[in-house]
Amino acid sequence: MKFKSWQGCRVFVTGATGIVGSSLVKELLIKGAYVVALIHDGDPQSELYRSGTIQQVSVVNGSLEDFSVLERAINEHEIDTVFHLGAQTIVGAAYRSPLPTFEANIRGTYNLLEACRIHRDLVKRVVIASSDKAYGEIDVLPYTEDLPPLGRHPYDVSKSCTDLIAQSYYYTFGLPVVIARCGNIYGGGDLNWSRIIPGTIRSLFYGDRPIIRSDGTFTRDYVYVKDAVNAYMVMAEALEEKQIQGEAFNFGPKQPRTVLEIVDALRHLMGREDIEPLILNQAKAEIRDQYLSSQKAEQVLGWVPLYSLEKGLGETIKWYKQFLKREK
């Protein structure tokens, strides 16, 4: 059975104020879905608020750690599709204070999946946002989906657990889940300035030296937010097919980059090659090299990234310039 249309679908989105959540909600609304957003802290700086999209969705206030909030949202709004994007996503914050990360990312995942299981008569699709960090630090690169989740540091472990819990709900209870493992997602709307792309753009905009916490040689995949949103939508639509359920899919740009390469690309695109980055070499609890094979997503889902690094960074820079001009 093929997915017909988002028109009239009743969709619950956790993490709706984040960079991906804001863009996903907007795309779902364009396609005619009824969207319910879980909001923990209402951030007026979030693109969900700044764009006015918040006025077009139903809001449920609460946290992932509160099972009753999640169960009520799914039941009262008669949810048929769930996108679980909500998480504590900052590696450094997880290192400094692992307990809140474990609570949000692990307890939050099993609370949500249990609420979906209880209302299995309503819920037809569950998309779980995991991460390439779930694989941990292993010698085999690029990561492929047949590798086990082997996180060691707090954030990585929380994503490994997310994957295992999601798969347990499929294999034990037949819950129609699918797992997305993306590289580092970037784009307009990410206001976590500790991340390399928004932090570097802001530094260059103000004429300051960009800060690199590592030695600059760490390798990552960088996925533009519109490609990530497309990945989540394609996965949800494919869940009509039984062979997709319980599966995990990698999403990456096929060309990993070092941190220094990203900073240099931004310096070039912003015309600020006169400003040298400040390399601190102080990164802790971070994996040195991570990148993904997206071959399975391409072959099974037909997903390929539509944005080159230059095009994605160009759109991102344009967004931040407009945002920072208003901040001055």
Contact between residue 187 and residue 224 where contact means Cβ atoms under 8 Å apart: yes
The pLDDT of residue 287 is: 79
More confident residue, 325 or 209: 209
Half-sphere exposure of 181 (CA within 13 A, CB side): 32
Q: Tell me the average pLDDT across 118-126.
A: 98
At residue 99, what is the residue type? L
Active-site residue, 171 included? no
What is the distance between the terminal CA atoms of the chain, rounded to a whole angstrom?
A: 53
The fraction of the chain above a pLDDT of 70, given in percent, is 99
Residue 213 per-residue DSSP state: S
Cα–Cα distance measured from residue 274 to residue 50, given in angstroms and rounded to the nearest whole number: 33
Which of helix, strand or coil describes residue 146?
A: coil
The pLDDT of residue 54 is: 96
Q: Is the pLDDT of residue 268 over 90?
A: yes
The pLDDT of residue 2 is: 78
| Partners of residue 247 on adjacent β-strands | none
- Pairing mode, strands 219-220 and 257-258: antiparallel
| Partners of residue 289 on adjacent β-strands | 219
pLDDT in tens, 203-258: 999 999 999 989 999 999 999 999 999 999 999 999 999 999 999 999 999 899 99
Both tokens assigned to 324? 């920072």
Marked catalytic residue, from 34, 110, 155, 291: 155
The 3 state secondary structure assigned to 105-125 is HHHHHHHHHHHHHHCCCCCCE
Q: Tell me the average pLDDT across 257-284.
A: 94
More confident residue, 138 or 226: 226
Q: Is the pLDDT of residue 90 over 90?
A: no
CB atoms closer than 10 angstroms to residue 168: 15
Contact between residue 252 and residue 290 where contact means Cβ atoms under 8 Å apart: no
Q: Is the pLDDT of residue 285 over 80?
A: no
| Helices vs. strands in the chain: H and E counts, helices first | 12, 13
Q: Tell me the average pLDDT across 187-215.
A: 95
Nearest 5°: phi and psi at 66?
-100, 100
The pLDDT of residue 254 is: 86
Element (H, E) at 219: strand 219-220
Q: Is the pLDDT of residue 286 over 80?
A: no
The pLDDT of residue 267 is: 98
- Angle formed by the axes of helices 196-205 and 259-269, to 10°? 40
CB atoms closer than 10 angstroms to residue 122: 16
